[in-house]
Structure 1
Amino acid sequence: MAKEMFVQLSDFQLFAKLTGENKGKPTVVMDAGYGDSSKAWDSIISDISMLTEVLIYDRAGLGKSEKSSKSRTSSEMVKELNELLYRAKIKHPYILVGHSFGGVNARLYATEYPNEVSGLILVDSTPEDYREKFLPTMSKEFREAYNKQFVYEGNYEEFMGSLKQVKESRRKLNVPLIVLSAGKKAHYSEESQKLWNEMQKEILEISSNSEFIVAENSAHYIQNDEPEVVIDAIKRMIEKF
């Protein structure tokens, strides 16, 4: 059974939806990519909610959530998520699942609140050195299109500020980590695809217990292209508990 709620934070409300039931396992908390609402998880949510309780939510200014007056950087979003979970009385431990930019938030959350997190799954997450290491290898058209997309939540500076925050706070985490990398990215040359997978693999270093999986037939939205890969990763993470 799904329970929808609007949770009041300082000067705005966040929309969240809780599905599934707590069977003594961690609650799965899912954070979508940049500009995406919680609907980004529609393809897998019913499968996951058969396993345990799942919380999806819309970050401020997206989907059904109101806008926040605070800056749109990961550190603010992580505080807001923490407050949302507290006010909605969702008890930890959590398994955090972050797609793309949501993976940046999930990493920072696990760093800021290590005692609340029992597992971390990053779904084609944005690497911290994306601007320095990856963007320069792409075509001028790709870079221009990339820079123009930052109009949905937070601007280019705030997004890059978030990558800086996750880089500066980086330390070894004592939680199991699964990194899923998309193996068939749109508009990527063979070299770019190889570099992308390598940069995804480097994220493994943040945990002493990590696993790397390439979703060979997936573009950026692995949860849509190969949902079973994401579902299986979450299932195995739940079983570790």
Structure 2
Amino acid sequence: MLWMMQLLVILLGAISQGVGCWREDRQAQLGQFVDVNGRQLHLVVRGHADPMQPTIVLDHSLGGVEGYFLIDQLSRLSRTCISDRAGYGWSQRSAKRRTSAQIVQELDTALTEAGLEPPYLLIGDSFGSYNMRLYAHTFPDKVCGLILTDGLHESGMLNMSPLLRGLQAFFISGFLVAILGSTIGAIRLLRWLGLFYWLKPELRQFPQWAFDAATRSFCRPQHWWTMTQELFWMDQSGQELADANDLGDLPIVDIPAASFFIPAWWTRLIPLGRANALRDQMHEKLMQLSTNCKQIAAPESGHFVWIDQPAVMLEAVKWVLEQQNQRD
């Protein structure tokens, strides 16, 4: 009898998940779709085009769709584009490897198909720093500046200690569990119960539409499957960046957080000290990418600077725009 009740709960959750996805898909997407290798990628563009100003292009963190939280503020500075990588948000999944080289090619095709002409001011958050740095290396004539928000560097990521490798494996296992949880509607239920606000109360500072747009992706199995793939191929992405360590005099802002996670009771269960030491080493490497690097710290922020201290990112954008105006 117990197993029948459990099966019934799972079945009802799966039906609820399917109905929820169907209702959301009937709602108009926020941006536009472009065809990339036979897959539909979703882009949102805000702000007016100005031939004297670059287009800000933001690439999300691993599993994040945080651009929705920032696009209104960024678009007041210059026209801004955010793109849901394949498998996230409204974008369809891709059967291709989720490595930085593949993501960069897809992004460039999407920008071209959307008619967004360069120059681009690139913002890469966390894993997005890999992608945007490789984009700047691959298409240097299209890029006028680069902002790396608590970014990564392959010198550290490819040489993690066994303890940190174990932490990475733990995250992957969690993503796999979340695939099941999202399939049966558990994550949708937790969102409805306010779990996201409980985990990050700072999310309340953003408008409801942005919260809904960002968190809807977490309710879908393809979101967690894509996270798993990107983390699985992280080493391959790092190897693809081996030649992207000399970006000339490109204006670059490195934004280090105070700590990977804000210290709390539960962080005692993970090797936070070693993670922070590795992160500090990576920031030293990032400051050597260009002869025109500036570091703007986020002293009150954890890894999620875009939620904890978004004003620091806006400050970084203003500095790069000033550099662009001086060059012109």
**TM-score with structure 1 length normalisation?**
0.89
User: How much identity, in percent, do the aligned residues show?
Assistant: 29
Q: Distance in 2 between matches of 1:135 and 1:216?
A: 26
Which among 100, 118, 124 is matched to residue 126 of structure 2? 100
Cα RMSD over matched residues? Answer: 2.2
Q: Which residue of 1 aligns with 2:171?
A: 146
- Say whether 1:125 aligns with 2:182: no
Q: Which has the higher strand share?
A: 1
Q: Distance in 2 between matches of 1:138 and 1:158?
A: 16
Q: How does 1:184-195 map to 2 (within 5 A)?
A: 184-186=259-261, 187=267, 189-190=272-273, 192-195=275-278
Change (3 A) 1:18 1:139: closer
Counterpart residue identity of residue 38, structure 2: D
- Say whether 1:42 aligns with 2:83: no
- Residues 129, 148 of structure 2: 8 Å contact kept: yes
**TM-score with structure 2 length normalisation?**
0.67
Q: Which runs of 5+ in 2 are unaligned?
A: 1-28, 176-223, 262-266
Q: Which residue of 2 aligns with 1:85?
A: 111
Tell me whether 57-66 or 152-161 shows the greater mean CA deviation.
Answer: 152-161
Q: Which residue of 2 aligns with 1:172?
A: 247
Tell me whether 41-50 or 168-177 shows the greater mean CA deviation.
Answer: 168-177
Q: Which residue of 2 aligns with 1:27?
A: 55
Q: Distance in 2 between matches of 1:146 and 1:73?
A: 18
Which among 304, 319, 325 is matched to residue 221 of structure 1? 304
Change (3 A) 1:143 1:77: closer
Change (3 A) 1:110 1:54: same
- How far 1:194 sits from its partner (Å)? 3.9
- Say whether 1:11 aligns with 2:84: no
Q: Which runs of 5+ in 1 are unaligned?
A: none
Matched positions, count: 237
- Higher CA-based Rg: 2
Q: Which has the higher helix share?
A: 2
